[in-house]
């Protein structure tokens, strides 16, 4: 669930008690919709009994932690996708264009010294002298 816009007003005690009741019913979504994650200081819950206050503040903290983790996860995935796109673009740009040539490729000529050695070796193998 996205954060609701900040609200500088202090939640009334009845709202806090309603939030606690919703949390005790395990209806976190309804508690969020009712203002659980609105911007109000945790000290505003001091008027509640200890169990209710602990439940309310612990739930708020777990949600903040979860939402922050989700935001980090989404940012990480966006960074990884960006890097992958850059890497793929670099690979496509670096790949040389293939030239299709209908003519068969010729073997490179031997250097002159190697050609002379090969000719002498062939002559000796054939029984003749160069």
Coil, strand, or helix at residue 75? helix
Bin 87: left if φ > 0, else alpha if -120 < ψ < 50, else beta. Answer: alpha
Separation between Cα atoms, residue 12 and residue 35, nearest integer Å: 11
Mean pLDDT for 29-38 is: 93
Does this model's pTM top 0.85? My answer is no
Residue 9: the pLDDT is 60
The pLDDT assigned to 27 comes to 94
Poorest-confidence range of 70-74, 98-102, 119-123? Answer: 98-102
- Report the C-alpha gap between 63 and 81 in whole angstroms: 27
């Amino acid at each position: 669930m996205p954060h609701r816009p900040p609200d500088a007003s202090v939640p009334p005690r009845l709202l806090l008690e309603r939030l606690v009741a919703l949390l005790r019913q395990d209806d976190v979504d309804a508690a969020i919709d009712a203002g659980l994650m609105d911007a109000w200081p945790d000290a505003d819950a001091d008027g509640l009994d200890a169990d209710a206050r602990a439940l309310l503040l612990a739930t708020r903290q777990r949600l903040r932690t979860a939402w922050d983790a989700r935001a980090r996860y989404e940012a990480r995935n966006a960074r990884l996708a960006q890097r992958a796109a850059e890497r793929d673009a670099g690979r496509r740009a670096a790949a040389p264009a293939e030239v299709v040539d209908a003519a068969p490729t010729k073997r490179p000529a031997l250097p002159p010294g190697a050609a002379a050695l090969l000719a002498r070796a062939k002559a000796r193998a054939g029984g003749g002298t160069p």
